[in-house]
Structure 1
Amino acid sequence: MLNDAKVRSAKPQAKPYKLTDSHRLYLLVSPSGGKLWRWGFAYDGKQKTMALGIYPMVSLLDARAKRDEARALLDQGKDPTVVKKLRIEANIEAGRNTFERVAREWHKTYKAQWAAVHADDVLRSLERDAFPGIGALPISELTPPKILEVLRAIEDRGSIETAKRVRQRISAVFVYAIAQGMAQTDPAEKLGAVLKPLRRGRQPAITDLARLRQMIKDAEEDYARPVTRLALRFLALTAVRPNELRGARWDEFGELNGPRALWCIPAARMKGNLDRKEELGGDHLVPLTSQAVTVLRALWPLTGGCELLFPSNRHAHRPMSENAIGYLLNRAGYHGHHVPHGFRATFSTIMNEWAEREGKEHDRKIIDLMLAHVPKEKVEGAYNRAAYMPRRRELAQVWADMVSKGLPAPVVLVERPSKPIGDHSRRRLPRAVPADFRFPERSKAA
């Protein structure tokens, strides 16, 4: 029987030699001084040897424990060396089965069942929010606290709904992994109960100017049709209703080459009852800032030959999808935090706060007028929708200057990819308009 003192004091000799312990465990001492634990056993009529480690990394007690474990396998009729090899291979394979690898395999399996936009959104959310934190880790070793750490990071930026959706998608990946034998449990299954609750009530809108700029920047850096990016920027600058934007026609715009550029939205396209839509002089007038006109200049090569500013990708005579801008905001990580209609609440909040600090008398009423709100004390027919136009232009420019600070020129949005990285199906974009380009003259100014 060996003891620690004997193992420690064993000196190298000219030839390898053994120091034996019980049940055929022995220490092999090499001429170079190495001390290797070995165990001899018989299996299927053959004498075999199993390596148990190197001393002192494996102590005498550890070597005996490994020997006893191997003897237990032998009693079950198993070859301990084969079991060891299979375990090593299983561990290597588990290391290869990272969360990202399994998630991409899951996505490839199921994406044919989803709409293309949804399939892109699912993968994009995992690439943005899950893979950086847990993508490189073996899926079988992930724990609830590690996944919760990923979800909390999403919540911390205010994207409560996105955190819930990412949890659902992570959980779906684990269900797939369990079915494939790559995981035993779903550590994301119960985490929904500890995530922050959704905000209820009015449509979500970011009302902090710095966060608003960051949201626009994030969305414009995501993949999308150039028309969609420009529509988002134009919506932010004008604060009109999304449906009014979608239906915008080039013949509604006038004086685009001068200082009094104007968008005249027909009363028939405005929100309201039949009386409002048929009201004489009920058109909504939107003074266009220099930034808004710059967006139109970038848009002209794309849709200037159409009736609509923002047509459908497939049918030029139809407006763009009502979900296009919303999906872009969602992909950028703002699902549940800001919607296209939210730009109106953003404009109202920020501009009214500005008016309190720096505005003039009646600015708050003018801001309501710019949003096409009708004062309760006024009847529809008696309300002058073209009133205060000089001041409306000034306030619109104040807003545009605040929103546009730090954002790239609209022409840059046209040049960015319209498909996810790796998709080479992007069509060639038309050239930008020359510096001396002038819009066709129309008479919509006021």
Structure 2
Amino acid sequence: MLTTIQINALKPMEKAYKVADGKGLYLLVSPSGSLLWRVKFRFHGIEKKMALGRYPDLSLKEARLKRDEAREQLAEGIDPLAVRLQAKIEAELAARTTFRIVADEFIEKMEREGKAPPTLKKTRWLRDLLDPAIGHRPVAEVTAHELLKALQKLERKGHHESALRVRSFAGRIFRYAVATLRAQHNPADILRGALITPKVKHHAAILEPAKVGELLRAIDGYGGKVETRVALQLIPHVYLRPGELRKAEWPEIDFDAAVWRVPAERMKMRQMHTVPLSTQALALLKYLRSLENPGTFLFPANKTWLKPICENTLNVGLRRLGFTSDEMTSHGFRAMASTLLNESGLWHPDAIERSLAHRERDQVRGAYHRGAHWDERVRMAQWWSDYLVKLRDGAEVLRPKFGT
């Protein structure tokens, strides 16, 4: 049996040599003077050797403990060298399977599945919010405590909505890691209910008919860029989402059929949306076309016709007209149309929902209603535009009185 004094007295020789301790444990003394612990054993009659570490980093006592662990595994019919190699492989795999790597792979999968560029951009932004905290960590080793700490950091900055979105994003990544056999659990699921839920803030909208008239008259008097004024005049008639309207291109407009076909990639629900165009909407579009702007965008940006107006243009226009963000937003035209069309009592709720491009969860029912309500939607589009003209011109508008 070796002692620490004996080990410290060992000197290198021209060739490496062994100094036995006992039960297969020995020190290999290299010509450079390194003292390397090794353990020798037999497994199914085959002699094997396993490195344990370097002396004095691994003391005599620690080397004997590792030797004893290996002998216990042998007694149970387990090859300690195979266990060591498996652990090494798993460690290397974990190092190559960080949260960031799996997240990038998931985003690439989304891209191959045809997700829209804005969706991919937002997903990458969520990934970047988590990256400093857990991006470098093996995805299988990330704990709920680590994830919660990262999310609470966002909360302390007042970013409550972002924290909820990041937790949801992390959950998708962990579920993907589990599905691809690189993790065994999803720590994001444990954190359901752990974060502050902010009060839902709806897009501000003007819903009173008289005030709608004031808004429309103000828009007609807009003194900024002509294309911005036309966009503000047009959006109440078609009540598309601002992103769907501002990126519009001329090939989408069918003047002969009086329809606007918004392509699926620009729609929130990734389904093409067909909008019937009233005579008022067609007149605005024809006027816009008469401006003969180069390029394909209906509403080109100020400095280049190769890009559409930015996402804040319409809201900035409303602010210039004196409407605050608490009064009216470009998205609020949808709420305006939904509210007043439903209050009219003239139109089937499904026709209104289809005109808003709200997806039907039941695909069979949705396919039926897309066709069944088209004629009604055409009539509703013209009625709605006529109604807006009455409000704009200040005509008396009678609102129905509903019983309880």
TM-score (norm 1): 0.49
Cα pair distance change 1:29/1:282, threshold 3 Å: closer
Which residue of structure 1 aligns with residue 252 of structure 2? 315
Tell me how far apart the structure 2 counterparts of residues 276 and 12 of structure 1 sit (CA, whole Å): 95
SS in 2 for 1:193: coil
Tell me how far apart the structure 2 counterparts of residues 137 and 66 of structure 1 sit (CA, whole Å): 28
SS in 2 for 1:5: helix
| Superposed counterparts of 1:76-95, under 5 Å | 76-95=76-95
Cα pair distance change 1:47/1:68, threshold 3 Å: same
SS in 1 for 2:12: coil
Cα pair distance change 1:345/1:71, threshold 3 Å: farther
Which residue of structure 1 aligns with residue 154 of structure 2? 154
Which residue of structure 2 aligns with residue 203 of structure 1? 202
Which residue of structure 2 aligns with residue 400 of structure 1? none
TM-score (norm 2): 0.53
Tell me how far apart the structure 2 counterparts of residues 137 and 351 of structure 1 sit (CA, whole Å): 43
| Superposed counterparts of 1:8-407, under 5 Å | 8-109=8-109, 116=116, 119-120=119-120, 123-200=123-200, 203=202, 271-273=207-209, 283-286=216-219, 288=222, 292-293=224-225, 296=228, 310=246, 312-313=248-249, 315-316=252-253, 318=260
Q: Which has the higher contact order (CA 8 A, sep 6+)?
A: 1
C-alpha displacement at 1:97, in angstroms?
0.4
SS in 1 for 2:58: coil
After superposition, the CA RMSD in angstroms is 4.5
Cα pair distance change 1:36/1:94, threshold 3 Å: same
C-alpha displacement at 1:154, in angstroms?
3.3
SS in 2 for 1:2: coil
C-alpha displacement at 1:96, in angstroms?
0.2
CA contact (8 A) 2:107 2:124 kept: no
C-alpha displacement at 1:55, in angstroms?
0.5
CA contact (8 A) 1:18 1:29 kept: yes
Tell me how far apart the structure 2 counterparts of residues 87 and 143 of structure 1 sit (CA, whole Å): 20
- Identity across matched positions, percent: 32
- Once the two structures are superposed, what CA deviation does each residue of 1:379-431 show, in whole Å capped at 9, x if it has no partner? xxxxxxxxxxxxxxxxxxxxxxxxxxxxxxxxxxxxxxxxxxxxxxxxxxxxx
C-alpha displacement at 1:139, in angstroms?
0.8
Tell me how far apart the structure 1 counterparts of residues 131 and 202 of structure 2 sit (CA, whole Å): 30
Tell me how far apart the structure 2 counterparts of residues 345 and 325 of structure 1 sit (CA, whole Å): 26
Tell me how far apart the structure 2 counterparts of residues 311 and 109 of structure 1 sit (CA, whole Å): 26
CA contact (8 A) 2:27 2:35 kept: yes
SS in 2 for 1:86: helix
C-alpha displacement at 1:164, in angstroms?
1.1
Cα pair distance change 1:73/1:276, threshold 3 Å: closer
- Once the two structures are superposed, what CA deviation does each residue of 1:146-176 show, in whole Å capped at 9, x if it has no partner? 2223323433454322321221221222122
Amino acid in structure 2 at the alignment position of 1:284? R
Which residue of structure 1 aligns with residue 337 of structure 2? none
C-alpha displacement at 1:118, in angstroms?
7.6
C-alpha displacement at 1:39, in angstroms?
0.9
SS in 2 for 1:48: strand
- Once the two structures are superposed, what CA deviation does each residue of 1:220-256 show, in whole Å capped at 9, x if it has no partner? xxxxxxxxxxxxxxxxxxxxx6xxxxxxxxxxxxxxx
C-alpha displacement at 1:114, in angstroms?
7.8
SS in 2 for 1:284: helix
Tell me how far apart the structure 1 counterparts of residues 165 and 56 of structure 2 sit (CA, whole Å): 50
